[in-house]
């Protein structure tokens, strides 16, 4: 992780919201699927991730970032990748 004090100001502004992220405290496991996850496990993991996002003070900034960058994996801003694709019709049309 880069030292934030060494980042140029515009880049630091773009990522500053992450300093307040709830997921910084719990790690990435609830937010990203392991390689061979079964459907039942995925639903429970997604539920846990969404619950954490629901307590996160930067949920709007996180979702905005995920949509703006077309983040293809994981739960960001309380939405799964599939749910985010539904908000981006052009992206959904090109994703299998
Ligand atoms: S909204 Fe969820 S994924 Fe985004 S920073 Fe907060 S806890 Fe992490």
The tokens describing 39, both together, are: 């459907």
Select from 16, 19, 52, 60 the residue to mutate for testing ligand 1; criterion: most ligand atoms less than 8 Å from CB. Answer: 52
| Number of neighbours of residue 34 by Cβ within 10 angstroms | 9
CB of 77 sitting under 6 A from ligand 1: yes
For the segment 65-88, the average pLDDT, to the nearest whole number, is 95
**pLDDT digit string, tens, across residues 20-66:** 999 999 999 999 999 999 999 999 999 999 999 999 999 999 999 99
- Which is the closest atom of ligand 1 to the Cα of 17? 5
Q: What is the mean pLDDT of the chain?
A: 88
Q: Distance of alpha carbon 9 from its chain centroid, rounded?
A: 23
What pLDDT was estimated at residue 81?
Answer: 97
Of 51, 61, 48, 50, give the one whose Cα is nearest residue 21.
Answer: 61
CA distances from 94 to 16, 25, 86 (A): 31, 34, 12
Select from 54, 56, 57, 69 the residue to mutate for testing ligand 1; criterion: most ligand atoms less than 8 Å from CB. Answer: 56
For the segment 7-25, the average pLDDT, to the nearest whole number, is 82
The tokens describing 57, both together, are: 């003070």
């Amino acid at each position: 992780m880069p030292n934030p004090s060494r980042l140029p100001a515009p880049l630091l502004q773009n990522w500053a919201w992450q300093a307040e992220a709830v997921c910084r405290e719990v790690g990435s496991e609830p937010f990203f699927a392991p390689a061979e996850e079964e459907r039942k496990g995925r639903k429970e993991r997604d539920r846990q991730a969404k619950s954490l996002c629901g307590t996160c003070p930067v949920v709007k900034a996180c979702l905005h970032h995920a949509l703006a960058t077309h983040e293809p994996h994981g739960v960001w801003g309380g939405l799964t990748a599939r749910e985010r694709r539904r908000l981006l019709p052009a992206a959904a049309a090109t994703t299998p």
